Amino acid sequence: MLKKPELSFWQMWNLSFGFFGVQIAYALQSANISRIFATLGADPHDLSFFWILPPLMGMLVQPLVGKWSDKTWCSWGRRKPYLYVGALVAVAVMAFLPNAGSLGLTVKMAMIFGLVMLMLLDTSINMAMQPFKMMVGDMVNERQKAKAYSIQSLLCNAGSLVGYLFPYIFTWIGIQSVAPKGVVPDSVIYSFYVGAAILILCVLYTGMTVKEMNPEEYAAFHGIKPAEKKEEKPGLVHLLIHAPKQFWQIGLVQFFSWVGFLYMWTYTNGAIAETIWQTTDTASKAYQTAGDWVGVLFAVQAIGSVLWAIVLPMFKREKIAYAASLVIGGLGFISTYFIHDQYLLFISFLLIGCGWAAMLAMPFALLTNSLSGSSMGAYLGLFNCTICLPQIIAALLGGLLLKLVGGTQAMMLVVAGVSLLLGAVSVVGIQIKKQA
């Protein structure tokens, strides 16, 4: 098997640059979905149920994109066709989703319309996101993968920073952040429009600057014999049964990590409105101001992630980097319960960003080094279930846990912190594959 060539920094940058635009869309979704549905009239105890659709669509879409793209060879490339389709659909949906309350529909119909748009948005974002992870696995050698995924993490968090800040920036320049009851404010609507434009431009940049391997090159660099190429690829169930042990070990860490962040996305808006602005009235100016401030806090988290993504490659041992990052992130979540100043929360979300940076980089670097090239895409698609399934379970249990902690949304961030600490403990069980 030939060794993959060393890539320059800019080659790895171009490989992941489109992720910047995709992550803007994902950040807008993450920071504003609870706000949108609360504005439309959703009860706080039901908010977590709206978060079932995104990971559910991810579980369905990403394994299929991985399996299908393993078999796809065309003039556009192997993974890029799925990237283009996902990006185009995401752009269209981003124009409709924030307008769910502006179409003259009843509250019930507006909710249904919003749910359908949310389902389509997450499906398309998942389709656009997965090819970037696969292309790094395809084209980057084992020694450089940690660096490549750290670059991807940096771009991802830079995109998050932009997406999270959009509503706050638009409000600052004078666009309305308050709207009639049941209508999403213009500051949020315009954020989705601009995010959609940036998404398609970034994806086109990666498409034009990256040339994927042809079938012969791919086979040579991944040790695939001609006879193996002609065989029918094993099904997803077969691959799952025969997955390397690292798949399950890292998956356990993923479970606790993604439970924590699902609760952050679901309850931060309500928590900050309760603890800083002392309101639960979703139609009030204070609640919408809290919603804008959540975007700022998530942007601070992204800054922390960008900075920590630079630090991560400096660790000599991946497991120490992974576990330490999750501990820092967990403490950041827990600290939010004890802070009642909007600016001091910057410290909490900088710490949370450290955990997020590791979650974006370390699992994929560790996993792809344990995989063979013939089913790389399918395994990465299946591995996405370790991201999606925890979110579905967390969403189903969210309302119950909220009652158990006294109905205070701020306590759900403490639950998120404890979950990340459990993830850090689980890192101990990962067996690192030695590099050749």
pLDDT at 372: 61
Which of 179, 182, 183 lies closest to 171 in space, CA to CA? 179
Q: Look at the block and give the residue holding tokens 């949906």.
A: 93
Give the model's pLDDT for residue 190.
92
DSSP 28-90: HHHHHHHHHHHHHT--GGGGGGGGSHHHHHHHHHHHHHHHHHHH--BTTBSSHHHHHHHHHHH
Taking CA 346 as the corner, what is the angle to CA 341 and CA 349, rounded to the nearest 5 degrees? 120
Task: Calculate Rg over the CA atoms of the chain.
Answer: 21
**Rounded to 5 degrees, what angle do the CA atoms 258, 260, 265 make?**
90
Which of 117, 422, 397 shows the shortest CA–CA distance to 262? Answer: 397
pLDDT of residue 2: 72
The reported pLDDT for the residue numbered 254 is 93
3-state secondary structure of 361: helix
Helix (H) or strand (E) run with residue 142 in it: none
Residue 330's pLDDT is 97
| Contact predicate 269/36, CB 8 Å | no
Q: What is the pLDDT of residue 435?
A: 47
| Superfamily holding 9-429 | MFS general substrate transporter like domains (1.20.1250.20)
Domain ranges for the chain, please list them: 9-429
| Cβ contacts of 431-434, under 8 Å, gap ≥ 24 | 431/245, 431/246, 431/249, 432/318, 432/319, 432/366, 433/246, 433/369, 433/370
Question: How buried is 86 (Cβ within 10 angstroms: 0-12 exposed, 13-18 middle, 19+ buried)?
Answer: buried
Separation between Cα atoms, residue 135 and residue 12, nearest integer Å: 10
CB within 8 A of 107, min separation 6: which ones? Answer: 40, 41, 182
Classify 77 as helix, strand or coil. Answer: strand
* Cα distance between residue 397 and residue 423, in whole Å: 18
Tens-digit pLDDT string for the chain (436 aa): 577 888 888 989 998 899 899 989 988 887 787 778 877 777 766 667 777 777 777 777 777 777 777 777 777 778 888 889 889 999 999 988 888 877 777 778 888 888 888 888 888 888 888 788 788 878 888 778 778 877 887 888 788 888 888 888 998 898 887 777 778 888 889 999 999 999 999 999 998 898 887 777 777 776 666 655 555 556 667 777 777 788 888 889 999 999 999 999 889 988 998 889 888 777 788 888 888 888 889 889 888 988 888 888 788 888 899 999 999 999 999 999 999 899 999 999 999 999 998 998 788 777 776 666 556 667 777 777 888 889 889 988 988 999 998 888 899 999 999 999 999 999 998 887 654 4
pLDDT at 155: 87
3-state secondary structure of 138: helix
Helix spans in 140-185 (H): 145-172
Q: If phi over 0 gives left and psi between -120 and 50 gives alpha, with beta otherwise, what is residue 223?
A: left
